[in-house]
Amino acid sequence: MTLADITALLQRGVDHAPLQGSLKFDCGADGVVVLENNTTSNTDRPADCTIRITLDNLAKLVKGKLNPMTGVVTGKLKVSGDARIALKLGELLKG
């Protein structure tokens, strides 16, 4: 799954459940996905909450094959900033 595929899936999520604030998935050299209100973008910019994750694990996350809490506990994803925004991730992934 490419970053563009993941961005499209996450766009469906924000279409379904608009995000209050901004959330960035930082996949290092593979790029970023920034969600803010009703939009998604691959342009790196500051966000209220940043989740550092590999592209492979982000693909698993959006497909429902990686539980967000398990990802945090196992170190597969790291959350910084306003964690309340990260807690809304489940709603986004249902879209």
CATH of the domain at 43: 3.30.1050.10
pTM over 0.85: yes
Residue 18: which pLDDT band, with cuts at 50, 70 and 90? confident
Percent of the chain with pLDDT over 90: 72
Residue range(s) defining the domain that contains residue 43:
3-94
Is-contact 34 8, C-beta < 8 A? no
pLDDT digits (tens, 9 = 90+) for 49-95: 999 999 999 999 999 999 888 999 999 999 999 989 988 887 777 75
What pLDDT is attached to residue 69?
87
- Name residue 78's beta-bridge partners: 52
Does residue 5 sit in helix, strand or coil? helix
What pLDDT is attached to residue 95?
56
Task: Report the number of distinct structural domains present in the chain.
Answer: 1
